[in-house]
């Protein structure tokens, strides 16, 4: 948790000697709180105070950045327990696990299936981010060949799930600078064997231990060995225990500042049934995972999960918006009704789905309310007779229909007289809730 | 170092009983966030309500209609099918045919339907009107009378329309579904108003309005999280169970209905709709839903498994 200027001041020598370049210790403290200066500038501060200030200014959950030709993938760096407190920052990576038992041809086919897992929703392209290769422990040569096939055929970040450190070393040698995530699985896994790779920016390591205490010991050891890019995982458990672990890790790092648990969390879902994947992955996406690896590439399984991730990682302060303009729904003609709503995507999509359900072809005019919903926009004076009139003019809706009749949301009925005057359109008050639209449209005209 | 962070709640969610006798159900009562049973005494045990319509729904996806083909025109059989074949514990009856534009069925006829279903099925029921305030105020009181003493829940009551329905529920020993438009303040205000006309809080269930996966899910998710946190910190007027109308939203999403032919990269059509419903339901479980109103038997099966796993105390 960040310290305030006053908190920092209490830790300074309070002699106002000006060596730091500021007139007083307090002035210097204020700059430190803003991160506009560095503790090093005060030669007299105690080591203990210095450590306190530095550790308080560090992010409670570290982030790692992985490069692939698909772009940068940042994991971790989260700051809150609930998205309404600010937002969830770095969308959890979703990855598909391949077995090394696949023939090369089959593997290449699978890779192209995974590349096709790309879905456009509200102007964003949703894709998976990682492919993982699992070692069956039988044929090291086959594993290495499969790895080559992966890096030659796709740009995803690659994760290695392999408990044989010698095999991993061989893979790293031929990785050609590609960013890799290495799962340190199995009791025998000796991370010290990799300490000479510790500062290699291309390699991230996932530390696995069943309980938080053991995990804590592992991360502390890796920090001493100067490992930079770490993730943590508490292994395969039943859903309720996993939810507990994920919640505890997030709480302990944010609220108790346990820095040794402040790492992005990864989860592997071992089951292959779509049902198990749906249940576990939706829980992990909502509750704090930064990477989820699954054993299914079925689009009907992956699409809803990627959509959930998009929803949960959207910024609650910046509501999703649709382009403010008029939308034709169905086979519109010159007599079609014209309905007004806001450009808050939720308002628009609810109105849209009800108009579709009514089967009455209509125009929906989404007014630019900066993404506010009907009532909020009205209260904030973004949905006003003026803004509606402007939207009607901008879009030349009058050329698209032969009438000048407008339907406004029931919640803003008070503006109908004023709007009629300003816009010159005849105003009808529609239902308050979008669910009333089908029956309204049936009777309308 | 003790690596554990326990949150203690100062309040718990009001327990609400639906139904009577051996088939009655308890929802609510949680004293911790969903499924964090190690810090609460009371595990949340969400319940799935099976949705039954009084007349064949016209706008359902084919995969959904197919599931109920033999009963879709027969609400009594439909409810029995849910009980006997799908292991339903709670029925959500939708009186869509009351709507002046979609059948305009009379209060008497629908009250009789409620009585008949209850007599045959003997499960707790949630009864939702057609959404036309005037008509609901005629129909729901008659239905409540027909189910006098059965401890069923009637809705939707809204901030503009709660008095008539609440009054008849008080008279008949039933309860209400209090509906607010994804707004924590309106939700709270409505609970206060309903309570003021004399219905005790343990006869109120909040319908906070939810959005489908991809269609505003996150707004409802965060509103419910905020309401639940406030409730656990002591806000009694928000400390009521949530009912979430999952299927009604999820099956409207084009991703649930679009054919495989039109969208070859979206995967199998049938499963896609089911998973869309299941992921929507799962999300609201984690936001604190106590009752999930669902449709597709396969989606119900998946989410039941999630509930079972999430409420499994395991061994520590
Ligand atoms: S150098 Fe240190 S002691 Fe001197 S004024 Fe700056 S903060 Fe205070």
Strand-pairing partners, residue B52, are B93
**Any idea what DSSP says for residue A416?**
H
Nearest to B271 among A119, A256, A274 (CB): A274
Q: Using CA coordinates, name the residue in chain A closest to B223.
A: A84
Choose among B156, B183, B162: nearest CA to B248: B156
Q: Mean pLDDT across the stretch B70-97? A: 97
Q: Is the CB of A18 under 6 A from ligand 1?
A: yes
* Secondary structure class of A180 (helix, strand, coil): strand
Q: Which fold has domain B34-309?
A: TIM Barrel (3.20.20)
* Interface-testing mutation among B94, B214, B269, with chain A (most A C-beta atoms within 10 A): B214
Omega before residue B156 within 30° of 0, cis: yes
Choose among A159, A192, A178: nearest CA to A75: A159
Query: Chain B closest CA to A248's CA: distance in Å?
Result: 6
Average pLDDT of every residue of chain B:
94
Tokens of A75: 């994991």
In this predicted structure, the answer to whether residue B144 has a pLDDT above a threshold of 60 is yes
In this predicted structure, the answer to whether residue B163 has a pLDDT above a threshold of 80 is yes
Are the C-beta atoms of residues A328 and A396 closer than 8 Å to each other? no
Q: Sorting pLDDT into bands at 50, 70 and 90, what band is B316?
A: very low
Task: Return d(Cα A313, Cα A91) in angstroms, integer.
Answer: 6
* Interface-testing mutation among A241, A251, A300, A344, with chain B (most B C-beta atoms within 10 A): A300
Query: How many whole angstroms from A53 Cα to the centroid of ligand 1?
Result: 15
Q: Which residues of A touch B211 (CB under 8 A)?
A: 346, 350
The burial of A82, by beta-carbon neighbours within 10 Å (0-12 exposed, 13-18 middle, 19 or more buried), is given as middle
Of A8, A14, A17, the one to substitute when testing ligand 1's pocket (max ligand atoms within 8 A of C-beta) is A17
Query: Chain B closest CA to A45's CA: distance in Å?
Result: 29
In this predicted structure, the answer to whether residue B57 has a pLDDT above a threshold of 90 is yes
Interacting residues of A337 by C-beta distance below 8 A, sequence separation 6+: A360, A362, A363, A405, A407, A441, A444, A445
Q: Which residues of A touch B38 (CB under 8 A)?
A: 244
Tens digit of pLDDT for each residue in B99-139?
A: 988 899 999 999 999 999 999 999 999 999 998 899 999 99
* Interface-testing mutation among A310, A311, A376, with chain B (most B C-beta atoms within 10 A): A311
The burial of B23, by beta-carbon neighbours within 10 Å (0-12 exposed, 13-18 middle, 19 or more buried), is given as middle
Radius of gyration of chain B, Cα coordinates, nearest whole angstrom: 19
Task: Return d(Cα A438, Cα A421) in angstroms, integer.
Answer: 28
Task: Report the pLDDT value the prediction gives residue B105, as an integer from 0 to 100.
Answer: 97
DSSP string, B18-57: ES-GGG-EEE----SSTT-TTS-SS----EEEEEEESS--
DSSP string, A183-204: EE-STT--GGGGGGGTT-TTEE
The burial of B52, by beta-carbon neighbours within 10 Å (0-12 exposed, 13-18 middle, 19 or more buried), is given as buried
Q: Is the CB of A23 under 6 A from ligand 1?
A: no
CA A27 to chain centre: 38
Of A8, A10, A15, A40, the one to substitute when testing ligand 1's pocket (max ligand atoms within 8 A of C-beta) is A15
The burial of A16, by beta-carbon neighbours within 10 Å (0-12 exposed, 13-18 middle, 19 or more buried), is given as middle
In this predicted structure, the answer to whether residue B315 has a pLDDT above a threshold of 60 is no
Q: Which residues of B touch A301 (CB under 8 A)?
A: 267, 271, 275
Task: Report the pLDDT value the prediction gives residue B1, as an integer from 0 to 100.
Answer: 57
Show pLDDT as tens, one digit a residue, over chain A (445 residues).
578 889 999 999 999 999 999 999 999 999 998 888 899 999 999 999 998 888 777 788 999 999 876 789 999 999 999 999 999 999 999 999 999 999 999 999 999 999 999 998 877 899 999 999 999 999 999 999 999 999 999 999 999 999 888 999 999 999 988 999 999 877 667 888 888 888 888 899 999 999 999 999 999 999 999 998 999 999 999 999 999 999 999 999 999 889 999 999 999 999 999 999 999 999 999 999 999 999 999 999 999 999 999 999 999 887 778 889 999 999 999 999 999 999 988 889 889 988 988 889 999 999 999 888 888 888 889 999 999 999 999 888 989 999 999 999 998 999 999 999 999 999 999 998 787 898 899 888 7
Are the C-beta atoms of residues B54 and B95 closer than 8 Å to each other? yes
Task: Report the pLDDT value the prediction gives residue A1, as an integer from 0 to 100.
Answer: 56
Q: Using CA coordinates, name the residue in chain B closest to A317.
A: B219
Q: Would you state the torsion angle of the CA atoms of residues A60, B216, A278, A235, taken in this order, to the nearest 10 degrees? A: 10
Tell me if B211 and A82 make a contact (CB, 8 A cut-off): no
Nearest to A357 among B59, B132, B306 (CB): B59
Are the C-beta atoms of residues A437 and A354 closer than 8 Å to each other? yes
ipTM computed for the complex:
0.96
Q: Is the CB of A8 under 6 A from ligand 1?
A: no
Task: Return d(Cα A154, Cα A307) in angstroms, integer.
Answer: 23
Are the C-beta atoms of residues B132 and B110 closer than 8 Å to each other? no
3-state secondary structure A220-285: HHHHHCCCCCEEEECCCCCHHHHHHHHHHHHHHHHHCCCHHHCCCEEEECCCCCHHHHHHHHHHHH
Cβ atoms within 10 Å, residue B27: 25
Tens digit of pLDDT for each residue in B170-224?
A: 999 999 999 998 889 999 999 999 999 999 999 999 999 999 999 889 999 999 9
Q: Which residues of A touch B232 (CB under 8 A)?
A: none
Choose among A343, A410, A416: nearest CA to A382: A343
Task: Report the pLDDT value the prediction gives residue A176, as an integer from 0 to 100.
Answer: 84
Q: Is the CB of A20 under 6 A from ligand 1?
A: yes
Of A5, A8, A11, A20, the one to substitute when testing ligand 1's pocket (max ligand atoms within 8 A of C-beta) is A20
Query: How many whole angstroms from A41 Cα to the centroid of ligand 1?
Result: 8
Determine the atom of ligand 1 nearest the C-alpha atom of A24: 5
Specify the DSSP element, H or E, that contains B247: helix B246-250
> Which pTM was predicted?
0.88
Tens digit of pLDDT for each residue in B217-257?
A: 999 999 999 999 999 999 999 999 999 999 999 998 889 98
Please state the domain extents for chain B. 34-309
| Residue ID of nearest Cα to ligand 1 atom 8 | A25
């Amino acid at each position: 948790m960040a310290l305030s200027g006053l908190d920092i001041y209490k830790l300074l020598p309070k002699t106002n000697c000006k060596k730091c370049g500021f007139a007083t210790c307090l002035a210097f403290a204020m700059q430190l709180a803003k991160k506009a200066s560095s503790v090093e500038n005060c030669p007299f501060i105690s080591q203990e105070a210095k450590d306190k200030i530095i550790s308080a200014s560090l992010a409670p959950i570290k982030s790692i950045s992985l490069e692939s030709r698909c772009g940068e993938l940042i994991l971790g760096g989260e700051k809150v327990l609930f998205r309404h407190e600010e937002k969830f920052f770095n969308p959890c990576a979703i990855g598909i696990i391949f077995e090394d038992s696949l023939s090369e041809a089959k593997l290449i086919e699978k890779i192209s299936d995974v590349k096709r897992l790309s879905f456009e929703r509200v102007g964003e392209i949703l894709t998976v981010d990682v492919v993982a290769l699992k070692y069956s422990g039988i044929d090291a040569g086959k594993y290495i060949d499969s790895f080559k096939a992966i890096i030659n055929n796709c740009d995803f970040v690659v994760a290695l799930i392999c408990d044989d450190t010698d095999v991993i070393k061989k893979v790293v040698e031929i990785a050609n600078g590609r960013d890799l995530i290495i799962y340190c699985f199995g009791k025998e896994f000796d991370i010290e064997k990799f300490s000479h790779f510790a500062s290699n920016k291309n390699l991230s390591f996932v530390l696995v231990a069943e309980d938080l205490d053991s995990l804590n010991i592992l991360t502390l050891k890796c920090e001493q060995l100067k490992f930079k890019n770490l993730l943590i995982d508490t292994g395969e458990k039943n859903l309720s225990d996993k939810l507990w672990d994920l919640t505890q890790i997030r709480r302990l790092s944010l609220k108790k500042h346990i820095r040794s648990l402040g790492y992005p969390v990864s989860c592997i879902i071992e089951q292959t049934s779509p049902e198990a994947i749906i249940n576990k992955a939706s829980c992990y996406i909502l509750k704090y995972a930064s990477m989820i690896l699954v054993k299914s590439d079925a689009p009907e399984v992956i699409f809803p999960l990627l959509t959930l991730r998009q929803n949960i990682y959207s910024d609650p302060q910046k509501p999703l918006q649709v382009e403010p303009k008029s939308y034709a729904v169905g086979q519109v003609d010159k007599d079609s009704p014209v309905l007004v709503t806001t450009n808050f995507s939720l308002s628009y999509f609810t109105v849209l789905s009800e108009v579709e359900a009514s089967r009455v072809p209509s125009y929906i005019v989404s007014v630019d309310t900066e993404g506010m919903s009907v009532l909020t926009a009205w209260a904030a004076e973004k949905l006003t007779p003026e803004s509606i009139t402007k939207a009607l003019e901008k879009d030349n809706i009058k050329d698209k229909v032969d009438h000048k009749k407008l339907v406004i949301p029931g919640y803003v009925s008070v503006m109908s007289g004023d709007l009629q005057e300003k816009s010159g359109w005849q105003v009808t008050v529609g239902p308050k809730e979008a669910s009333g639209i089908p029956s309204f449209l049936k009777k309308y005209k | 170092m003790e690596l554990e962070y326990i949150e203690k709640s100062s309040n718990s969610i009001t327990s609400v009983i639906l139904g009577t006798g051996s088939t009655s159900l308890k929802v609510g009562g949680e004293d911790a966030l969903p499924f964090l049973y190690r810090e609460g005494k009371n595990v949340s045990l969400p319940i799935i309500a099976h949705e039954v319509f009084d007349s064949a729904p016209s706008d359902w996806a084919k995969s959904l209609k197919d599931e109920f083909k033999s009963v879709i025109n027969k609400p009594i059989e439909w409810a029995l099918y849910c009980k006997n074949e799908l292991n339903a514990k709670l029925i959500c009856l939708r009186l869509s045919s009351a709507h002046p534009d979609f059948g305009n069925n009379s209060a008497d006829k629908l009250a009789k339907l409620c009585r008949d279903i209850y007599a045959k099925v003997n499960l707790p029921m949630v009864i939702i009107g057609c959404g036309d305030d005037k008509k609901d105020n005629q129909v729901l009181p008659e239905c409540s009378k027909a189910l006098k003493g059965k401890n069923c829940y009637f809705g939707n009551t809204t901030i503009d329309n709660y008095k008539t329905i609440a009054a008849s529920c008080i008279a008949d020993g039933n309860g209400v579904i209090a509906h607010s438009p994804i707004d924590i303040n309106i939700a709270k205000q409505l609970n206060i108003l309903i309570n003021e006309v004399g219905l005790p809080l343990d006869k109120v269930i909040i319908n906070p309005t939810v959005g489908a996966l991809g269609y505003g899910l996150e707004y409802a998710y965060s509103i419910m999280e905020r309401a639940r946190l406030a409730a656990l910190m002591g806000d009694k007027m928000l400390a009521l169970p949530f009912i979430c109308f999952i299927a009604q939203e999820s099956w409207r999403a084009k991703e649930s209905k679009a054919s495989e032919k039109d969208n070859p990269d979206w995967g199998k059509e049938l499963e896609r709709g089911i998973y869309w419903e299941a992921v929507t339901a799962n999300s609201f479980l984690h936001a604190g839903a106590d009752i999930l109103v669902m449709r597709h038997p396969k989606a119900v099966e998946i989410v039941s498994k999630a509930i079972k796993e999430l409420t499994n105390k395991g061994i520590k």
